[in-house]
């Protein structure tokens, strides 16, 4: 019975095996969803979930895990991803615990009597705040505006003050963390609600009273507190966003924006995490060097320093003068075109997709620029990252919009996007006659600086 139950997924921490006395955690579950997605188990690393095991449900939806916990604390079980709390549920595990649950479309429920006292209380809290979770986290399935959310938020946060009265599990460590955990959950729901798309958005003056109590500084005093929560870093970012609006601070990109973010964080280790988040968006070696020159002093831990080296390594190979990525993609007629084929030309690469509104907004400007550069050695290359299923849509758009230049099809976010760290489009890049990088993040055609850059590159010897 046990063997059959856990055959779908088995994860054993090798580090934990060294401690012979430690007992495993057993999770048995039923997935009652129309789509039988894999169920995942996540541990928490520095305020973010990290997947450690996957269980593929049987035909009837049964799934299970058997694992040795690396630590006593919060873990996550669900069908979601590491990037969002959607379809993911937080539990507390220590060696020897058992969890039996049923996961449905929008929530979960515990089964049987074998569940730990800690997870019984965690589930009671989850059920108590579930109305907020549905509107703030599952917002695509539960349309809501501040008009109905704010009164519910005030009611639940008010009652939460007495939620723990008379409730103790006998686990002193957990009982101490539970109050902290409740504060993080409420902050997560409140901020996520404001930071996600709605049909109506409140002005700061319309925020309900609870928001006046949310201060980033209160949550960012201790890195350990942030790191314990699977969505700790995400919630901290949400708090900063809300506090900036409350203080009428405008969102700014780059180092100035980072300076604003850091002003809300009293803990230097957490400042280092935000520096790295900013660094992950850098597209050039010089940009990253400027970042570390200004804020590298906050990269305090070995983990942060290693992440910084990992971020810098690919950028160091993408400096002006370095070789371009040797792509090889089919054009609209199926003929393969490579970067090497374009040697002798100044190449303007446009990475785009048919579904991308900002990409399509640049098309008239790109056509105008191409006409102005006609007769020169400038070659415009538009590379679509549409998925294979949308290739006909791509071909139709080329014809309907009379798109010029070389039109190439990359079939999704593949090697090109990874090489140049492209996470958003459109992206424009310029290469010289020898196939060397001029810039991998050029101005857009709607900006006169792009034409000036192309003319400068043409004139270079």
Q: Please check the confidence at residue 85 and state whether its pLDDT lies above 80.
A: yes
Q: Is the pLDDT of residue 144 over 50?
A: yes
166: left (phi over 0), alpha (psi -120 to 50) or beta: left
Q: Contact at 8 Å (CB) between 68 and 12?
A: yes
Asked if the domains 1-115 and 328-459 are classified in one and the same CATH topology, the answer is no
Q: Domain 328-459 falls in which CATH fold?
A: Glutaredoxin (3.40.30)
In terms of Cα–Cα distance, which of 288, 455, 264 is closest to 378? 455
Show the beta-strand stretches assigned E in 147-259. Answer: none
> What is the residue whose two structure tokens read 């579904």?
355
Q: What are the structure tokens assigned to 375, written together?
A: 């007769």
Do the Cβ atoms of 226 and 47 come closer than 8 Å? Answer: yes
- Residue 18: the pLDDT is 41
Cβ contact 156:183 at 8 Å: no
Find how far residue 423's CA is from the centre of its chain.
11
Q: Is the pTM of this model over 0.75?
A: no
pLDDT digits (tens, 9 = 90+) for 183-193: 999 999 999 99
Question: Does residue 42 contact residue 75 with C-beta atoms inside 8 Å?
Answer: yes
Residue 316 confidence (pLDDT): 74
Residue 2 has pLDDT above 70, yes or no: no
* Residue 13 confidence (pLDDT) above 50: no
Q: Each residue of 243-272: pLDDT tens digit?
A: 999 999 998 888 999 999 999 999 999 999
First to last CA, the chain: 75
20-54 residue pLDDT tens: 348 999 999 999 998 889 999 999 999 999 999 99
Provide mean pLDDT across the span 448-454.
Answer: 95
Helix, coil or strand: residue 39? strand
> What is the pLDDT of the chain when averaged over all its residues?
92
Domain coordinates of the chain in residue numbers? 1-115, 242-316, 328-459
What integer pLDDT is reported at residue 366 of this predicted model? 96
> Over the stretch 198-208, which tens digit does the pLDDT of each residue have?
889 999 999 99
pLDDT confidence tier of residue 126, bands split at 50, 70 and 90: very high
Q: How confident is the model at residue 9 (pLDDT cuts 50, 70, 90)?
A: very low
- Percentage, residues of the chain above pLDDT 90: 80
Under the banding of pLDDT at 50, 70 and 90, the label for residue 219 is: very high
User: Could you report the per-residue pLDDT of 67-84, keeping only the tens digit for each?
Assistant: 999 999 999 999 999 988
Closest to 444 measured CA to CA, from 352, 375, 355, 373: 352
Check whether domain 1-115 has CATH 1.10.645.10, yes or no: no
């Amino acid at each position: 019975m046990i063997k059959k139950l856990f055959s779908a997924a088995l994860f054993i921490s090798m580090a934990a095996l060294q401690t012979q006395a430690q007992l495993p955690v057993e999770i048995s579950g039923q997935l009652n969803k129309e789509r039988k997605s894999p169920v995942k188990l996540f541990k928490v690393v520095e305020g973010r979930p990290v997947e450690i095991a996957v269980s593929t449900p049987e035909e009837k939806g049964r799934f299970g895990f058997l694992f040795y916990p690396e630590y006593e604390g919060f873990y996550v079980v669900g069908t979601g991803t590491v990037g969002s709390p959607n379809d993911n549920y937080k539990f507390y595990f220590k060696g020897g615990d058992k969890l039996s649950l049923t996961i449905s479309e929008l929530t979960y429920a515990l089964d049987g009597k074998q569940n730990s006292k800690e997870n019984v209380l965690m589930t009671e809290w989850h059920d108590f705040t579930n109305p907020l979770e549905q509107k703030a986290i599952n917002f695509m399935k539960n349309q809501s505006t501040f008009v109905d959310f704010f009164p519910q938020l005030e009611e639940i946060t008010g009652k939460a003050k007495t939620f723990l009265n008379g409730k103790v599990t006998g686990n002193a460590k957990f009982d101490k963390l539970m109050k902290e955990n409740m504060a993080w959950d409420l902050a997560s729901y409140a901020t996520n609600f404001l930071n996600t798309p709605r049909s109506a958005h409140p002005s700061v003056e319309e925020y309900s009273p609870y928001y006046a109590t949310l201060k980033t500084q209160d949550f960012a005093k201790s890195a350990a507190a942030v790191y314990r929560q699977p969505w700790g870093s995400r919630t901290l970012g949400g708090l900063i966003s809300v506090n900036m609006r409350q203080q009428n601070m405008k969102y700014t990109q780059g180092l100035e924006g980072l300076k604003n973010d850091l002003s809300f964080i009293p803990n230097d280790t957490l400042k280092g995490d935000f520096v790295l988040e900013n660094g992950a968006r850098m597209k050039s070696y010089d940009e990253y060097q400027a970042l570390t020159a200004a804020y590298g002093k906050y990269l305090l831990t070995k983990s942060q320093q290693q992440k910084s080296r990992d971020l810098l390594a690919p950028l160091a190979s993408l400096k002006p003068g370095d070789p371009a990525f040797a792509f090889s993609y089919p054009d609209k007629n199926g003929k393969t075109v490579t970067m090497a084929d374009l040697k002798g030309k100044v190449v303007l690469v446009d990475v785009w997709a048919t579904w991308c509104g900002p990409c399509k907004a640049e098309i008239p400007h790109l056509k105008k620029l191409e006409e102005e550069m006609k007769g020169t050695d400038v070659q415009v290359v538009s590379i679509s990252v549409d998925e294979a299923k949308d290739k006909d849509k791509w071909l139709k758009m080329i014809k309907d919009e009379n798109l010029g230049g070389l039109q190439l099809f990359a079939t999704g976010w593949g090697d090109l996007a990874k090489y140049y760290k492209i996470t958003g489009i459109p992206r424009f890049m310029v290469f010289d006659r020898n196939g060397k990088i001029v810039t991998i993040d050029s101005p857009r055609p709607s900006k006169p600086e792009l034409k000036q850059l192309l003319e400068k590159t043409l004139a270079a010897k």
